[in-house]
C-alpha cells in the first residue's frame, strides 16, 4: 500500500517551466513585487527611490556571497556525502560526525564562531568568513542530499559497471554521479534559494550586503518602514528569480536525459 508523502521546503516553490497559466502563484508574486517597487518609486520617490539607489550595491554583495558559498558548499557536500557512504569506517565516522554536529548548531552561531575563531589564527576578510561559515553549514545539508541521491540510483548500475571492467571510482564518476545530478538538482536548488535568504545573516559581520545597506540607510533617516519594505521586496524578487532559474536548469536536464 503506497504511503502518502508530505513535501515541505523552507524556500520558494520552483515553478514549472512552460506553465501557461498567466495567473500562477509564481508570476503573481514575481511581477507583483516588481510592479509594487515601480509604483512606490513613482508614487513616492522620496524615500523609496533613494532607498533603492542606496542598497543596489548590497544586492551585488548578497549575490556574490550566495554564489561562492553554494559552490564551496557543493564541494564540501560532495566530499562529506561520499564519506557518508564510504565503507572505510574512519572516513564514514568523520563525515557522519561533521554532518550531525554542523546540523545541530544554528547558522548564526557558526558565523560568529568561525569569524572569531579564524580571527584568532589568521586575519580573514569579513566576506570570506561569511562565505566559509555558510558553506560549512550548508555543506552538511548538501552532504545528506548527495548521499540520498547516490543511494537512490539502483544498485544494479554499479554492478553492471563493474562487470564491464570499470573500477569503482570510474563507475562512480561516469555512471552513478551523472544519474545522481538529475535526482538531487531540485533539493539542491531549494538549498541554494534558502542560502540566498540566510545570506542576510552576514550583515552582522559588517559585510555590506542588501540587509546591511538597508539598516545603514534606516539608521540615518529613521525611515524604517520604507527601507525594509524595499529590502523585503528585493529579496523576494531575487529568490523568485533564482527559483525560476533552478526550474529552467531542471527542465533542460530532463530534456537532455530523455
Q: Note the pLDDT tens digit of each residue in 215-234.
A: 999 999 999 999 999 999 99
Whole-angstrom CA distances from 177 to 182, 183, 228 are: 9, 10, 42
Whole-angstrom CA distances from 245 to 34, 62, 68, 149 are: 17, 17, 17, 21
pLDDT band of residue 258 (cuts 50, 70, 90) is: low
Residue 8 in this model has a pLDDT that exceeds 50: no
Least confident of 7-11, 33-37, 69-73: 7-11
The rounded percent of the chain whose pLDDT value lies above 90 is: 40
Report the sign of the C-alpha dihedral through residues 49, 210, 191, 103, in that order: negative
Residue 5 in this model has a pLDDT that exceeds 50: no
Own/partner pairs, 160-168, CB within 8 angstroms, 24+ separation: none
Residue 189 in this model has a pLDDT that exceeds 90: no
Least confident of 21-25, 248-252, 254-258: 254-258
Whole-angstrom CA distances from 248 to 185, 194, 256 are: 11, 18, 12
Kindly report the pTM of this predicted structure. Answer: 0.82
pLDDT confidence of residue 120 = 77
Residue 176 in this model has a pLDDT that exceeds 90: no
Closest of 36, 37, 61 to residue 49, by C-alpha: 37
Alpha carbons 126 and 208: distance in angstroms, whole number? 10
Q: Are 151 and 84 in contact (CB under 8 A)?
A: no
pLDDT confidence of residue 81 = 92
**Fold type of domain 25-257:** MetI-like fold (1.10.3720)
Residue 1 in this model has a pLDDT that exceeds 50: no
Angle at which helices 224-257 and 45-84 cross, to 10°: 40
Which alpha helices (DSSP H) does 18-122 contain, by range? 25-43, 45-84, 89-103, 107-121
Q: Per-residue pLDDT tens for 24-40?
A: 788 889 999 999 999 99
To which residue does cell 520617490 refer?
Answer: 45
pLDDT band of residue 3 (cuts 50, 70, 90) is: very low
pLDDT confidence of residue 256 = 60
Residue 142 in this model has a pLDDT that exceeds 50: yes
Amino acid at each position: 500500500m503506497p504511503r502518502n508523502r508530505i513535501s515541505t521546503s523552507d524556500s520558494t516553490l520552483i515553478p514549472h517551466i512552460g506553465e501557461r497559466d498567466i495567473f500562477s502563484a509564481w508570476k503573481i508574486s514575481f511581477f507583483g513585487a516588481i510592479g509594487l517597487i515601480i509604483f512606490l518609486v513613482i508614487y513616492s520617490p522620496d524615500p523609496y527611490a533613494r532607498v533603492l539607489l542606496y542598497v543596489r550595491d548590497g544586492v551585488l554583495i548578497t549575490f556574490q556571497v550566495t554564489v561562492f558559498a553554494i559552490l564551496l558548499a557543493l564541494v564540501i557536500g560532495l566530499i562529506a556525502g561520499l564519506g557518508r557512504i564510504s565503507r572505510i569506517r574512519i572516513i564514514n565516522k568523520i563525515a557522519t560526525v561533521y554532518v550531525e554536529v554542523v546540523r545541530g548548531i544554528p547558522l548564526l552561531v557558526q558565523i560568529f564562531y568561525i569569524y572569531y575563531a579564524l580571527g584568532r589564527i589568521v586575519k580573514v576578510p569579513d566576506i570570506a568568513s561569511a562565505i566559509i561559515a555558510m558553506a560549512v553549514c550548508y555543506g552538511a545539508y548538501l552532504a545528506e542530499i548527495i548521499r540520498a541521491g547516490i543511494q537512490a540510483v539502483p544498485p544494479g548500475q554499479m554492478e553492471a559497471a563493474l562487470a564491464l571492467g570499470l573500477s569503482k571510482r570510474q563507475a562512480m564518476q561516469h555512471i552513478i554521479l551523472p544519474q545522481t545530478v538529475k535526482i538531487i538538482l531540485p533539493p539542491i536548488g531549494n538549498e541554494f534559494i534558502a542560502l540566498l535568504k540566510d545570506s542576510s545573516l552576514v550583515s552582522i559581520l559588517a559585510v555590506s550586503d542588501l540587509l546591511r545597506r538597508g539598516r545603514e540607510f534606516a539608521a540615518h533617516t529613521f525611515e524604517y518602514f520604507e527601507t525594509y519594505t524595499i529590502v523585503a521586496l528585493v529579496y523576494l524578487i531575487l529568490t523568485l528569480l533564482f527559483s525560476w532559474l533552478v526550474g529552467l536548469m531542471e527542465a533542460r536536464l530532463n530534456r537532455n536525459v530523455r
